[in-house]
Structure 1
Amino acid sequence: MSENIHGTFISEKVSKIRWKPEDFVEAKSFLTGSWDNPVNHITYWTFDTNEEDDESYPVIISSHAFLGDVTELRFISKDLFVASSSIGTVQLLQIQENPYAQFKERLSWNFLHKFPASDYASCTAISTFEQDIVTVGEDGTINLLTANQKIPVRTIEKSDSCSMHCVDFLRHSEVLTGNLLGHMKVWDLRNNQDVPSTTFILSANTKTEATSLAHHPTQRHIVVAGGGDGSLTVWDLRHNTYPVSQLNAHSSSVSEIKFHPDRPENLFSCSSSGQLWHWNNAQNTKLKLDSGDTHWLNTISTKGKVNVTSMCATLHKPINTIDVDRSTLLFGCDNEAMYVIKNIAV
């Protein structure tokens, strides 16, 4: 690995890692969530400077026991975040800094997802839009929640015949879901009927599940989906549901995709094959997205216009999660370690 990567062994497989948002300054603290333990943890980290080499390294501020695997972590404000679990429960937690940093449960939606013959099903993914929260699960159910009340705003049962793996808010009243069969569905939450407004397929060439979704930070209709076969697929959902770009990327399932929040010509992806890649299309940043042929990823098929860089040596375990703020990227792995990459080229 390159010299700007620092790994920290934490004795837990890392399922999720998320920067804590700050106002107008660089993020200095973050959360990790674990999986595959009898009792898992959400851990709050910050950076401490080592006097010997004047370098900053992650240190634990506090840790919170969590029942079930942590399947997602999403901040909805500077100190409030939502955590979902493999037992179908979703919690709204607050980080209280004074007098000592600790977690306080604000709301808990217990067993939102469950099978008829079981007490629970995994809540596989959540997405947030301001105070609104949408959840999907192995039971094929969609739940719309708000951080202001205990009762779900809406539940769409049997919205899918199989497990849903990912969900993303396209706008305040619209969400996109992806399932085990690679079916992509757009749901208009203003519609009282429990049917999708649009349905399309992740890949017309091969049957593969949708494993991850990400929207462009300023153009939410531009969506990238990761597949179980390692592929990346891009849509401009304003025009049609035929992919703008589709490419073979990782050698196995895509775990997560992240646009850089401030420089969206940079995309990052990680996979269960232990790969972490940086996609950069800086040459096309001045082109307008509104013209049909200038989307920053539709030129992947042309030679030399998108730079793809491996950010670390391929690990022997899955890389499950990534997050980026300014010039620092975090990622977590099944080798029971989390990593910090500083001074990334964006």
Structure 2
Amino acid sequence: MMMTMKVFQTPARHGYAVEASPFLPSRAACAASQFYGITGSGSLLVLDQTDTGVVLVRSWAWGDGLFDVAWSEANEHVLVAGGGDGSLQLWDTANQHAPLRVAKEHTQEVYAVDWSQTRGENLIVSGSWDGTARVWDLTLSASLSTLRGHEGVVYSTIWSPHIPACFASASGDGTLRIWDVKAAACRLAIPAHKAEILSCDWCKYDQNIVATGSVDCSVCVWDLRNVRQPVSQLLGHTYAIRRVKFSPFSQTVLASCSYDFSVRFWDFSRKQPLLDSVEHHSEFVCGLDFNLHVPNQVLDCSWDETVKIYSPACLSAGTNTAAP
């Protein structure tokens, strides 16, 4: 069974993050950087799928590399990006020229941004190489709180889709931390890997399940009620895991992308958890997301200057049913 794929070229821009719109089934955003993000400027791209391919809807340039992007959960036109200059920028697809707002409190690269999904909240969390996570409202005027506790770079910050004012963070210090924003406190610090953790994600169906992806080439799935050992350890990648994402359609399915140029799909409930390995990039794969509206559709982006949208056969093989 051949996998159909749509490809968008990002010449001289190396993809760091891609995210599907929570509102529009065909829309996605990609945060990309010149010169592999080491130096130079960045671009934020808004893309639409068509029947035949992927088209550019809007692009903005930024004076420094862009490393992450998140869509607003309240306004289909608005998105936030994190930059190498320590800034967060709020962009609006109806505004062609400049960001709506810019915040610059982080003192080093902003490597992670995420928009809260729980009802009654409209908050952004950012994670930075300065070792802090910060929580913001839409004005981006001043951060509402600064969370300190990690002893290394913060690579990933993800809101719980279930618990208000709660997010997870992953760090170069090898820990996964769970934060309570209202108390401005770390509720749980898990020594999840003996190496840097570049990514974490919450299960969409279970508030106690979080996955981590590490430089040690493993994905670990954790049950926050018992963190002495992982529920599952997923092995197979040969280089650092850059991003992990849970499926929005299946409780036990997740994807990981890696510096080994591959994207892997897993079902951690199975004895043989690896469903498939997709190797269609020629450079580090840094960005990864599932489309919330199109079951089994995946988006990824790579330092090979492409964004790819596809539906892996392994996800539609009838083995994965949505959770009740």
TM-score (norm 2): 0.84
Within 5 Å, give how 1:239-278 maps onto structure 2: 239-278=226-265
Residue 8 to residue 174, structure 1, CA distance change in 2 (3 Å): closer
Within 5 Å, give how 1:39-118 maps onto structure 2: 39-49=41-51, 56-77=52-73, 78-96=76-94, 102=96, 105-110=99-104, 112-114=105-107
Corresponding residue of 1:339: 308
Judge conservation of contact 1:20–1:75 (CA < 8 Å) in 2.
Answer: yes
Judge conservation of contact 1:95–1:104 (CA < 8 Å) in 2.
Answer: no
Residue 20 to residue 190, structure 1, CA distance change in 2 (3 Å): closer
Which of 208, 211, 221 is the matching residue for 2:208?
221
Corresponding residue of 1:197: 187
Judge conservation of contact 1:88–1:123 (CA < 8 Å) in 2.
Answer: yes
The whole-number CA distance in structure 2 between the counterparts of 1:227 and 1:166 is 11
The whole-number CA distance in structure 2 between the counterparts of 1:250 and 1:103 is 41
The whole-number CA distance in structure 2 between the counterparts of 1:338 and 1:22 is 20
Corresponding residue of 1:8: 8
SS in 2 for 1:322: strand
How many residues get paired? Answer: 299
The whole-number CA distance in structure 1 between the counterparts of 2:232 and 2:150 is 26
Judge conservation of contact 1:2–1:312 (CA < 8 Å) in 2.
Answer: no
Residue 149 to residue 341, structure 1, CA distance change in 2 (3 Å): closer
Judge conservation of contact 1:322–1:330 (CA < 8 Å) in 2.
Answer: yes
> What is the CA-CA distance between 1:105 and the residue it aligns to?
2.4
SS in 2 for 1:196: strand
TM-score (norm 1): 0.79
Aligned amino acid, residue 276 of structure 1 = V
The whole-number CA distance in structure 2 between the counterparts of 1:91 and 1:133 is 11
Q: Deviations over 1:145-168 (max 9, x none)?
A: 111451211123x53332111122
Residue 319 to residue 151, structure 1, CA distance change in 2 (3 Å): same
> What is the CA-CA distance between 1:106 and the residue it aligns to?
2.5
Percent of matched pairs sharing the same residue: 18
Gaps of 5+ in 1: 50-55, 115-120, 281-296
Judge conservation of contact 1:322–1:329 (CA < 8 Å) in 2.
Answer: yes
Aligned amino acid, residue 89 of structure 1 = S
The whole-number CA distance in structure 1 between the counterparts of 2:311 and 2:176 is 35
1:311 equivalenced with 2:309 (yes/no): no
The whole-number CA distance in structure 2 between the counterparts of 1:83 and 1:103 is 15
Looking at CA atoms only, which structure, 1 or 2, has the larger radius of gyration? 1
Q: Deviations over 1:175-205 (max 9, x none)?
A: 222211202222222325xx523222113xx
Deviates more, 1:66-75 or 1:258-267: 258-267
Q: Once superposed, what is the RMSD of the aligned Cα atoms?
A: 2.3
